[in-house]
Structure 1
Amino acid sequence: MNEAKNEFLMLFTKYIKREGSQKLLLWLESSDFFIAPASAKYHLACEGGLCTHSINVFKRLADGFCREKGYKDFEEASTEEKEKVAICGLLHDLCKVNFYEIEYRNKKDEKGVWQKVATYVINDRLPYGHGEKSVYIISGFMRLSREESIAIRWHMGGFDDAVKGGSYSLSHAYEQFPFAVMLHIADLQASYLDERK
Structure 2
Amino acid sequence: MTAKDEFIKIYTENITRKGSAELLEWIQKTDFFTAPASTKYHCACENGLVMHSVSVYNTMIEKHFDEENDNPESFAICALLHDLCKAQFYKVSTRNVKNDETGQWEKVPYYAIEDTFPYGHGEKSVFLIERFMRLKLDEAMAIRWHMGGFDDNNGFYVSNAYDRYPLAVKLHLADLESTYLREKGTSAVRR
TM-score scaled to structure 2, two decimals? 0.93
Shift of 1:180: 0.5
What secondary structure, in the 3-state scheme, does the structure 1 residue paired with 2:153 have? helix
Q: Does 1:114 align with 2:105?
A: yes
Match of 1:158 in 2: 149
Match of 1:192 in 2: 180
What secondary structure, in the 3-state scheme, does the structure 1 residue paired with 2:96 have? strand
How many residues were matched structurally?
Answer: 184
Following the alignment from structure 1 to structure 2, what is the Cα–Cα distance between the partners of residues 169 and 37? Answer: 29
Tell me the amino acid that sits aligned with residue 100 of structure 2.
Answer: E
Match of 2:74 in 1: 84
**Hey, which of these two has a bigger chunk of helix by percent?**
1
Provide Cα deviations, 1:45-69, integer angstroms capped at 9, x if missing partner: 0000000000000011112223xx3
Q: Calculate percent identity across the aligned residue pairs.
A: 51
Shift of 1:178: 1.4
Query: What pairs with 1:75-154 in structure 2 (closer than 5 Å)?
Result: 81-111=71-101, 112-154=103-145
Following the alignment from structure 2 to structure 1, what is the Cα–Cα distance between the partners of residues 30 and 13? Answer: 21
Tell me the amino acid that sits aligned with residue 16 of structure 1.
Answer: I
Following the alignment from structure 2 to structure 1, what is the Cα–Cα distance between the partners of residues 140 and 2? Answer: 29
What secondary structure, in the 3-state scheme, does the structure 1 residue paired with 2:184 have? coil
Tell me the amino acid that sits aligned with residue 26 of structure 2.
Answer: W
Tell me the amino acid that sits aligned with residue 147 of structure 1.
Answer: D
Match of 2:53 in 1: 54
Tell me the amino acid that sits aligned with residue 114 of structure 2.
Answer: N
Tell me the amino acid that sits aligned with residue 30 of structure 1.
Answer: K
Q: Does 1:173 align with 2:164?
A: no
What secondary structure, in the 3-state scheme, does the structure 2 residue paired with 1:33 have? coil
Following the alignment from structure 1 to structure 2, what is the Cα–Cα distance between the partners of residues 162 and 126? Answer: 19
Shift of 1:36: 0.1
What secondary structure, in the 3-state scheme, does the structure 2 residue paired with 1:101 have? strand
Tell me the amino acid that sits aligned with residue 137 of structure 2.
Answer: R
TM-score scaled to structure 1, two decimals? 0.90
What secondary structure, in the 3-state scheme, does the structure 2 residue paired with 1:107 have? strand
Backbone CA RMSD of aligned residues: 1.4
Tell me the amino acid that sits aligned with residue 155 of structure 1.
Answer: H
Shift of 1:109: 1.7
Structure 1 segments (4+ residues) deviating >4 Å: none
Provide Cα deviations, 1:133-178, integer angstroms capped at 9, x if missing partner: 0000000000000000000000000000224xxx211111011011
What secondary structure, in the 3-state scheme, does the structure 1 residue paired with 2:71 have? helix
Shift of 1:195: 0.6
Q: Does 1:182 align with 2:170?
A: yes
